[in-house]
Amino acid sequence: MALEVTTEDSDGSKSSVPITMVDPRRPQEIEVLATGDEVAVIGIVRRRFFRTGSGTASRTEVVAEDVIRPSQRARLRKSLDRVAEVIGAELD
């Protein structure tokens, strides 16, 4: 399943990145997302390199573990706590 998320900086400039979900936990929630819906994406940023006819190219994407609506506060908090644990373990 693939999505694209766009963020807007404080100066109004926008950036988009493709979101790839290999095994979505709640596919029915992803399928009903519409353009403009706010989401939090939990995952890793990955840059892939590949060859083209004119040389080497790259693609940056986020491989998402979960995509959560901010209104789902308990679920979002649980995911962010899990992220904090992983980061804390890597810093130790």
Query: 8-61 pLDDT, tens per residue?
Result: 999 999 999 999 887 777 777 778 888 889 999 989 999 999 999 999 999 999
Q: What residue numbers bound the domain in which 75 lies?
A: 2-91
Q: What is the DSSP string of 51-91?
A: EETTEEEEEEEEEEEEEE-TT-HHHHHHHHHHHHHHHHHHH
Residue 77 confidence (pLDDT): 93
Residue 23 confidence (pLDDT): 76
- Please state the domain count of the chain: 1
| 62-85 tens-digit pLDDT | 998 889 988 999 999 999 998 899
Residue 1 confidence (pLDDT): 64
CATH number of domain containing 69: 2.40.50
